[in-house]
Chains A and B, each alone.
Chain A
Amino acid sequence: MSSLSRRARLLVTVLAAILLAGFATGYALLGRERPAPAASAQVSGPALMVLTNGRLSTVAATDPGGPREVTEVACDRVYAAAATVACLEPVGALSATRLVVMDERLRERKTVPLTGFPNRLRVSASGRMVSWTLFLDGHSYATTGFATRSGVLDLRSGRLVNSLEDFAITRDGLPYRNVDVNYWGVTFTSDDNRFYATLSTGGHRYLVEGDLAARTVRTLRDNVECPSLSPDGTRIAYKSAVDGDPAKGWRLSVLDLASGRSTPTAETRSVDDQPAWLDGRTVAYALQSSDGTNDTWSVPADGTGAPHLLVPGANSPSPPRH
Chain B
Amino acid sequence: MFRRRTVTTLSAAAIILAALSVPEVTANAATTTFTPVADTYVDNSATGTNYGTSAQLGIDNSPVKRMFLRFTVSGVSGTVSSVKLRVHTDNVSGAESGSGGSFRAMSNTTWSETGTTWNNQPAIDGATLGSIGAVTANAWYEIDVTSYVKGNGTYSIGVTSASTDGADFDSRESGGSTAPQLVVTTGTTTPPPTGDVLVGAGDIADSGSGDSATAALLDDIPGTVFTLGDNVYTNGTASEFANYYAPTWGRHKSRTRPVPGNHDYNTSGASGYYGYFGSSAGDPAKGYYSYNIGANWHVIVLNSNCSAVSCASGSAQVNWLRSDLAANPRPCTVAMWHHPRYTSGANHAPTTSVAPFVQALYDANADLILTGHNHQYERFAPINPSNQLDTARGIRHFVVGSGGAGHYGFGTILPNSEARNSDTFGVLKLTLGAGSYTWQFVPQAGKSYADSGTTNCH
Contacts and interface: CB of A to CB of B under 8 A. Distances in A.
A93 interface: yes
A314 B424 CA distance: 23
Nearest to A68: B50
Contacts of B54: 66-67
A158 interface: no
Interface in B304-360: 344, 346-347, 349-352
A38 interface: yes
Interface residues of A, number: 39
Interface string B155-170: 0000000000000000
B409 interface: yes
Contact of A292 (B51, B114, B422): B422
A309 B1 contact: yes
Given A42-B46, A66-B1, A90-B349, 18 more contacts: A40-B46, A40-B49, A52-B114, A53-B114, A57-B50, A66-B54, A68-B52, A69-B49, A70-B48, A70-B50, A70-B119, A70-B120, A91-B349, A93-B352, A140-B409, A290-B423, A291-B420, A313-B115
Contact of A71 (B1, B48, B344): B48
A54 interface: yes
Interface stretch (B95-103, B179-187, B410-418, B431-439): B410-418
B407 to A, nearest CB: 9
A139 B408 contact: yes
B53 A65 contact: yes
B413 A292 contact: yes
Contacts of B148: none
**A91, A291, A309, A313 pick with most chain B CB within 10 angstroms:** A291
A290 B351 CA distance: 23
B48 A66 contact: no
A197 B224 CA distance: 51
A74 interface: yes
A74 B420 CA distance: 21
B2 interface: yes
A93 B350 contact: yes
A68 B49 contact: yes
B46 A74 contact: no
Given A291-B421, A312-B53, A41 B349 contact: no
A113 interface: no
B47 interface: yes
Contacts of B51: 67
A143 interface: yes
Given A40-B49, A70-B117, A52 B411 contact: no
Interface residues of B, number: 39
Interface of B: 1-2, 46-54, 112-115, 117, 119-120, 344, 346-347, 349-352, 406, 408-413, 419-424, 449
Interface of A: 37-38, 40-43, 52-55, 57, 65-72, 74, 76, 90-94, 117, 139-140, 143, 288, 290-293, 309, 312-314
Nearest to A42: B49
Please list the 8 inter-chain residue pairs (A to B) with the smallest Cβ-Cβ separation, ordered nearest first. A292-B410, A313-B114, A54-B412, A93-B352, A65-B1, A290-B423, A139-B347, A42-B49
16 contacts: A38-B48, A67-B46, A68-B50, A70-B119, A76-B412, A90-B349, A90-B412, A139-B408, A140-B408, A290-B449, A291-B410, A291-B421, A292-B410, A292-B413, A292-B422, A314-B114
A219 B46 CA distance: 50
Contacts of B52: 68, 312-313
A93 B50 contact: no
A292 B53 contact: no
Contacts of A43: 49
A74 B412 contact: yes
A38 B120 contact: no
Contacts of B349: 90-93
Nearest to A51: B412
Contacts of B112: 52-53, 313
Contacts of A74: 412
A68 B114 contact: yes
Nearest to A74: B412
A159 to B, nearest CB: 31
A7 B113 CA distance: 23
B289 to A, nearest CB: 27
Contacts of B411: 54, 76, 90, 292
B422 A290 contact: yes
B50 A52 contact: yes
A66 B1 CA distance: 8
Nearest to A37: B48
Given A40-B49, A65-B2, A290-B449, A70 B408 contact: no
A76 B411 CA distance: 8
A94 to B, nearest CB: 6
Contacts of B413: 53, 292-293
Contacts of B47: 38
Contacts of A65: 1-2, 53
B49 A292 contact: no
Given A52-B114, A139-B347, A292-B409, A67 B420 contact: no
A70 B53 contact: no
B207 to A, nearest CB: 12
A40 B112 CA distance: 21
Contacts of B449: 290
Contacts of A42: 46, 49
Contact of B53 (A37, A66, A93): A66
